[in-house]
């Protein structure tokens, strides 16, 4: 089933807002892969901002950017957030208070919600009054594509017709230390959001569908990989672009950034479609993206 995207939001190293991603020239390797500094209170308002963690702020910021151009969302619109483990910093900081604090029971209760993995999804739903199914998919690099599979299943069974997909990953010291432990490359952060509907809308930004099996070799197809993949060797080198060379290792935000690169390849280089393989070679699943 095709899923049409009617609105896009993005917060990446290229800037805050999807408009900042439309200039094609920055889509190359960079030493600066963190999101540019932003003031949380100024961007999202003072109410509740004092207890927001980095992941929650990124999710709210990208959801606002995505929905800003939408006059209204259908009743029952859902929220699906792709994450790795939620906010690693919030979890470790909260746990650390019981060890480093003067009293084990002097733990600020206002900080506890941030330690729950689905906190970001709840924040987005509350802020934008999205009353449909609220889901968090924990899957690291594969989280975004697993989220698309979930949305595809929910729309196929008529349990959902419109969903805001948010792929987000924070850049904090605990996450960097954890990633260094498994030998990851340059650690980046990003958040990307798509408003998806289960139809082939004419006024869409793009459409995508989940595919099974090996993609057929197509010289007119761009291939957006995550890390070094031998599977991409079947395609001409100029057709292949690695999301990690542009945005760094962004884990749960990987799929969102891959779609941004796919749109860049489709619009500026004239490819007819883009292929986004599942980030594990043994999984014969991929997403096809077209305009």
pLDDT, one tens digit per residue, over 257-287 is 999 999 999 998 889 999 999 887 666 889 9
Helix then strand then coil, % of the chain, to nearest 5: 40, 25, 40
Q: What is the pLDDT of residue 72?
A: 87
Yes or no: say if 51 and 111 are a contact pair by the CB < 8 Å rule.
Answer: yes
Nearest in space to 25 (alpha carbons), one of 198, 268, 199, 226:
268
d(CA 10, CA 190): 8
Each residue of 159-194: b (16+ CB within 10 Å) or e?
A: ebbbbbbbbbbbbbebbbebbeeeebebbbbbbbbb
Q: How far is CA 91 from CA 111, 116, 140, 187, in A?
A: 9, 8, 17, 19
pLDDT, one tens digit per residue, over 108-122 is 777 767 667 788 999
d(CA 212, CA 24): 31
Residue matched to tokens 């799929």: 255
Q: How far is CA 15 from CA 21, 63, 192, 258, in A?
A: 7, 15, 12, 16
pLDDT, one tens digit per residue, over 212-225 is 887 777 888 999 99
What are φ and ψ of residue 44, in 5° steps? -115, 0
The DSSP secondary-structure symbol of 73 reads -
Tens digit of each residue's pLDDT, the chain (291 residues): 899 999 999 999 999 999 989 876 667 767 678 899 888 888 888 887 777 888 889 999 999 999 998 988 999 999 999 998 766 666 666 667 777 777 666 777 777 676 677 889 999 999 999 999 999 999 888 999 999 999 999 999 989 999 999 999 988 767 766 666 666 677 889 999 999 998 877 789 999 999 988 777 788 899 999 886 655 666 777 888 999 989 988 999 999 999 999 999 999 888 999 999 988 766 688 999 999
Q: What is the pLDDT of residue 270?
A: 87
Domain map (residue ranges) of the chain: 3-205, 207-290
Helix, coil or strand: residue 59: helix
Q: What is the pLDDT of residue 127?
A: 93
| Residue 291 exposed, middle or buried by CB count within 10 Å (0-12, 13-18, 19+) | middle
Q: What is the pLDDT of residue 195?
A: 97
Yes or no: say if 54 and 172 are a contact pair by the CB < 8 Å rule.
Answer: yes
Q: What is the pLDDT of residue 87?
A: 64
CATH tag for 3-205 (out of 3.40.190.10, 3.30.470.10, 3.40.50.300, 3.40.47.10): 3.40.47.10
- Partnered with residue 166 across adjacent β-strands are 81, 193
d(CA 144, CA 244): 15
Q: What is the pLDDT of residue 235?
A: 73
């Amino acid at each position: 089933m095709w899923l049409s995207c009617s609105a896009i939001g993005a917060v990446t190293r290229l800037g805050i807002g999807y408009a900042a991603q439309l200039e094609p020239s920055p889509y190359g390797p960079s030493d600066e892969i963190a999101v540019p500094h932003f003031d949380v209170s100024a961007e999202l308002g003072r109410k509740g901002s004092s207890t927001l963690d980095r992941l929650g702020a990124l999710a709210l910021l990208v959801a606002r950017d995505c929905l800003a151009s939408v006059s209204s969302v259908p009743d029952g619109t859902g929220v699906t957030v792709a994450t790795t483990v939620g906010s690693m910093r919030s979890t470790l900081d909260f746990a650390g208070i019981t060890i480093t604090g003067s009293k084990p029971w002097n733990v600020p209760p206002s900080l506890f919600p941030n330690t729950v993995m689905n906190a970001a999804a709840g924040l987005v739903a509350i802020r934008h009054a999205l009353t449909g199914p609220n889901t968090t998919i924990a899957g690291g690099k594969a989280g975004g594509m697993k989220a698309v599979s979930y949305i595809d299943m929910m729309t196929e069974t008529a349990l959902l017709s419109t969903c805001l997909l948010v792929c987000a990953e924070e850049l904090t010291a605990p996450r960097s230390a954890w990633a260094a432990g498994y030998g990851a490359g340059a650690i980046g952060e990003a958040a990307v959001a798509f408003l998806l509907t289960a139809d082939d809308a004419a006024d869409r930004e793009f459409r995508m569908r989940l595919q099974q099996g090996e993609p057929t070799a197509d010289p007119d197809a761009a291939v957006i990989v995550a890390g070094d993949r031998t599977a991409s060797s079947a395609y001409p080198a100029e057709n292949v672009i690695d999301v990690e060379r542009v945005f760094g290792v962004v884990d749960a935000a990987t799929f969102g950034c891959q779609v941004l690169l796919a749109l860049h390849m489709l619009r500026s280089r004239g490819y007819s479609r883009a292929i986004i393989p599942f980030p594990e070679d043994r999984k014969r699943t991929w997403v096809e993206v077209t305009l």
